[in-house]
Amino acid sequence: MKVKLFLLIFISLLFVNGCKENTTDSGNVKTVCPERIASLSLASDEILFDIADQDKIIGITYLADNKKLSNVYGRTSGIPHKLRPNLEQIIELNPDLLVVADYIDHAFIDQIKKTGINTHFLTKLDSLESINQNILLLGKSVCEEDKAVSLVNNLNKNIEQIKARELTYNPTVLYLFPSFFTAGINTTIDDLITSSGGINVGAMAGIEGNKKISREYILNVNPEIIIVGSYSPDEENFIELLKSDKVLGNLNAIKKSSVYTIETSHLTTVSHHIVKGIKELSDIIDNYNKSLDEN
């Protein structure tokens, strides 16, 4: 196995930055445009499908075919390879550009770097701004800067339209996933909640990133809206568990049926598709405001 892997790495080094004849000039700099693009994260799958020529995408992550997680589900039939974090598989594929998000296993990232494969990293995907920047940088790497700019502009336009709504009240919103984890500051969930017109309970708790939140804090804040993802493989009946919880069952959000499910693919994505989650939550907050006006 080690001999085979060594040979594969050696071969990959011979083909790094292939297809040099297909180039574009930017001033005095000649940029190599990739012809064999492989994606190893769902975020890059989703971005590439909307900025790159699909004929140039030779591999995407296997998660792209997961209906519950993927925003490109149903669009992947023309892609010949579905990838996992498998070094031999990637080397045999011989991409001239591999796209990887830095949230995957760091040991595996180190292995990729050692192969010499031309790799583009999506980094620090923890805010709407970081999503914008990563789309633009990836667009540059695949010689599709105009499409990337258009995608970012469209994303920002849609978000600004949502923010421009007139709300009489900004409710407290708690995002929960199994084992009572939530998202605080420096997360895309925080941006999603605030862009929708809510106040993020996770941020109020001083949480940074994704961490557990105590039942005591939840009880003290008594959030007005609770949102959960539609896909919770560890606890499929998560909402029912919340409702039956002897402590949390007394929360106003639960008593008033203000616990909502949002598609996980729209809620946890770190691509431009996050606007779908923002729209879903904004509709929930709109309806919450209307209910207050009626009372």
Task: Tally Cβ neighbours within 10 Å of residue 230.
Answer: 14
Nearest CA to 42 out of 82, 77, 93 is that of: 82
Domains 2-158 and 168-294 share a fold: yes
pTM assigned to the model: 0.88
CATH of domain 2-158: 3.40.50.1980
Per-residue pLDDT of the chain (295 residues; tens, 9 = 90+): 444 444 443 334 333 333 344 444 445 556 689 999 999 999 999 999 999 999 999 999 999 999 999 999 999 999 999 999 999 999 999 999 999 998 888 888 889 888 899 999 999 999 999 999 999 999 999 999 999 999 999 999 999 999 999 999 999 999 999 889 999 999 999 999 999 999 999 999 999 999 999 999 999 999 999 999 998 776 778 888 888 888 888 899 999 999 999 999 999 999 999 999 999 999 999 999 999 888 6
In whole angstroms, how far apart are CA 103 and each of 98, 120, 123, 270? Answer: 15, 13, 8, 11
Class of the CATH-defined domain 168-294 = alpha beta
Residue spans per domain, the chain: 2-158, 168-294
Report the pLDDT value the prediction gives residue 141, as an integer from 0 to 100. 97
139 CB-near residues (< 8 Å, 6+ apart) = 51, 145, 146, 147, 148, 149, 151
Q: How far apart are CA 89 and CA 8, in angstroms?
A: 10
Nearest CA to 190 out of 103, 126, 122 is that of: 126
Task: Tally Cβ neighbours within 10 Å of residue 74.
Answer: 10
